[in-house]
Amino acid sequence: MRGLLGLVGSLLLAIPLAVAAPPNVYKTKQRIDAPRGWVKHSTPPPDQPISLRIALPQQNFHALEKHLFEVSDPDHNRYGQHLSKEEVEALVAPHKDSLDAVDEWLSGFGFEEKDLIRSPAKDWITITVPVSTAEKLLDTTYHVWKHTSGDMLVRTTSYSLPSNLHTHIELVQPTTMFGRVKPEKSTIFGLDEVTDVLHTASEALPLALGSGIIVDPSCNSTITVSCLLQLYNAVGYVPSNDPRNSIGITGYLEQFANIQDLQTFYAEQRPDALNSTFTFHSVAGGINSQNLSEAGAEANLDVQFAFGISHPIPATFYSTAGRPSQFTPDTRTPTNTNEPYTDWLDFILKQENPPLTISTSYGDDEQTVPEDFAKRICAGLAQLGARGVSVIFSSGDYGVGDGNSDPATQECFTNDGRNITRFIPTFPASCPFVTSVGGTVNIQEVAVSRFFSGGGFSDYFKRPVYQEQAVCKYLKSLPKGTYKGLFNAEGRGFPDVAAQSDRYRIWYRGRPVHIGGTSASSPAFAGLVALLNDARFKAKKSSLGFLNPLLYSRGVSGFNDITVGNNHGCGTTGFNASQGWDPVTGLGTPNFGKLKGIVT
C-alpha cells in the first residue's frame, strides 16, 4: 500500500504547474497564533505532498437549516419528512460564480479538471500538491510544527487568497488547523481486578427505581447490556432486523473492532446475537485488523455495547485512516493532515443509505479547530440530520476543560494569544446539529466522578432555539457572577443527554476488562435510539433523524433528571447537575419505555 501511495504521489508531483502570477492582489484570509504546546520544528521538504481542501460557500445552507428544523420538530406538519440525498446536495451546492472563479484561479496554476476531486455537491474541492505549490497558491510559508506530545504536522499560521476569491472560498485546510482528535476517552480501569466470570445477579435485594423499573444491585459495580436495558426501561422490547433500520459506529486513530472479542462478549452478555457481526467499511484506506493483539479498547467498547443493545438491527463499523498529527520527515506519500472527520463525512455523505443512528466517541478542544472549519464540519453533520440520521457524539471526559479542580495546575488557556484562563468546550459535541451525551454512574444515578462529564457552552456556536428555554432556566439559577468571563453564556449548551459511563465490562484482547468514559455513554445511548427507530418503523413512521428539537420539547418527560454531581475543570468545581437541563448531564438519562410512547 505504501508503494502504491508513493507511486500516486510521484504522479501527482509530475503535474506540470504554471508559475504565472494570479490576476488579483492577495489578501490575508486567516491569521492565528500558534496554539499552546506547538513550536516550529523545521521546514518541510518542498516536494512533500499535501492534500488541500477548498470549501466553497453553500449558498442555500440557510434553507437547508430551515428544512432540518421543520422535519425535526414534532409539532410541525413536516415532522419526519426527511430530505433525499439529492435534495440536500442541491441546497448546499455553491453558486456557479463561485465555481467559475475558483476554477479560473486553479487553472492559472496549471490545474485541469482531472486534477480536482469534487464533493457530490461540488462544495468542496480537493487537490494534492507539493508544499512548494501550496505555498504559491496561498501566498504563505509552511513549517513542520511539533507538539509537546511529540506529534508533528505541517501547518502555517496564516494564508492568503486573491482578493476576488474571498467571497467564493470560505476556507482552505490544512493550513491553520492544529487539532489533535482523541477518544473521549477510553480509560481502562482495573485490568487485574475483573474476574473472568460475570456475576449477572446479586444476592442483595433488587433496586426499585419507581415506575416499575427494577435494577439488579450488581449494576452498581459492573455495567452490562442487561444493566442498561433494566436501568433505562427497555427490558422485554424485542426489535426486528428490519433492513430499513441501521446503526453505525465510527472508528479513528487505528482503533480496530475485533470480531473474536465481540463473539465472546455476545456469548457472555447477548447469547442470541452469537455468530452475528457487523458490516465493515474502509474510509480513506482505513483497515480493521483482526489481530487480537491490535484490538482497540475504544472500538471494542463502541461496537460491543451499541450493537449488543440494538441487536438484531443491521450494524456497520467505519474505520477512517489517518490522524491530524502524522507528518514524518522520511515519508513522501500524501499526508492526510485534516481532521479525520472530513474524510468520514466525505464518505458518508456520498452514501445513498447511511446508518440511521451513528455514534462517535471522539472529539477535540473546540478552540484548536479553526472556527470556520468547525462550522463547515457542523454543516456537514446537519446534512445527515436533514436526511433522517441521528448523529450522536460523546461530550468528553474532562469536565469544563481539563478535569482539574486545582487552580495551581489547571491547563485551560485561550489560544488567541492572550493565554487567559477559560473553560474549553469540546467539538464536535458543541455542534448544535448533533446530540451530545454526558456521563453518569451508580444506581441511583449521579454525574460520573472518576472522570468528569464534559459539558459547558460553545464559543463558536450560538444557543439554538430548541434549547433556549431549558438553558436560560439553568443560567438564571446560577448565582450572579458565577464563572464570569470563563464561558460564553450565549453559546450552545452541551451535553444534551447522558447515560452510564463507567465500569462497562467489555472483552478486550481476549480478556474481560472494565472501561469508562463518555465514549461508553454515547454508543449506549445510540443503541437505544436505534431501538426507538425500530419502534417507529413498526408504527409505520419514519426514522427520528435529528433528535434535539424532539428531546427538548415532547421528549423531556422521557428522561430521568440527574441532580447530583458536577464536572470539575480549569481550577474550578465546574458546573453542577441540577433540576432540569444542566451542562453536566443535559436533560438526564433515557427512559426507553416513555420515549417509545412519545415517538410512536
DSSP state letters, 300-342? HHHHHHHHHHHTTS-EEEEEE---SS---TT--S-B--S-HHH
- Choice among 70-84, 133-147, 183-197 with the minimum mean pLDDT: 183-197
pTM of this prediction exceeds 0.75: yes
- What percentage of the chain has pLDDT greater than the value 70? 90
Can you list the positions of beta strands (E) in 335-473? 357-360, 362-365, 390-394, 426-427, 435-441, 446-447, 456-462
> All 3 cell numbers of residue 535?
419502534
Q: What tens digit of pLDDT does each residue of 565-580 get?
A: 999 999 999 999 999 9
- Active-site pick, 395, 519, 521, 543: 519
The answer to whether residue 519 is catalytic is: yes
- Active-site pick, 298, 343, 365, 366: 298
SS3 53: strand
Binding site feature residues for Ca(2+): 561-562, 580, 582
Sheet of 362-365: strand order equals 182-183, 362-365, 426-427
Q: What pLDDT is recorded for position 230?
A: 97
CATH topology for the 183-599 domain = Rossmann fold (3.40.50)
Q: Which of 536, 565, 528, 156 is nearest to 337 (CA)?
A: 156
Q: Which of 450, 50, 535, 45 is nearest to 244 (CA)?
A: 535
Q: What pLDDT is recorded for position 182?
A: 52
Q: What pLDDT is recorded for position 324?
A: 52
CA distance 47 to 184: 36
On whether the CB atoms of residues 159 and 373 are closer than 8 A, the answer is no
CA distance 320 to 331: 20
Q: What tens digit of pLDDT does each residue of 540-574 get?
A: 999 999 999 999 999 999 999 999 999 999 999 99
Q: What pLDDT is recorded for position 325?
A: 47
Domain boundaries, the chain: 2-59+94-176, 183-599
Please check the confidence at residue 162 and state whether its pLDDT lies above 70.
yes
Per-residue pLDDT band for 495 (boundaries 50, 70, 90) equals very high
Please check the confidence at residue 322 and state whether its pLDDT lies above 80.
no
Helices within 387-460 (DSSP H only): none
Give the chain's mean pLDDT: 89
Average pLDDT over residues 165-189: 74
In sign, the C-alpha dihedral spanning 342, 428, 372, 68 is: positive
Q: What pLDDT is recorded for position 193?
A: 58
The answer to whether residue 319 is catalytic is: no
Q: What pLDDT is recorded for position 2?
A: 37
- Measured between alpha carbons, how far apart are the two ends of the chain, in Å? 49
Q: Which of 93, 139, 143 is nearest to 119 (CA)?
A: 93
Q: What pLDDT is recorded for position 200?
A: 65
More confident position, 10 or 116: 116
436 bridge partner residues? 393
- Could you tell me the CA-to-CA distances from 26 to 146, 373, 406 in Å, in that order? 29, 21, 47
More confident position, 235 or 191: 235
Per-residue pLDDT band for 390 (boundaries 50, 70, 90) equals very high
Binding site feature residues: 561-562, 580, 582
- Active-site pick, 65, 123, 302, 459: 302
- Choice among 117-126, 299-308, 319-328, 404-413 with the minimum mean pLDDT: 319-328
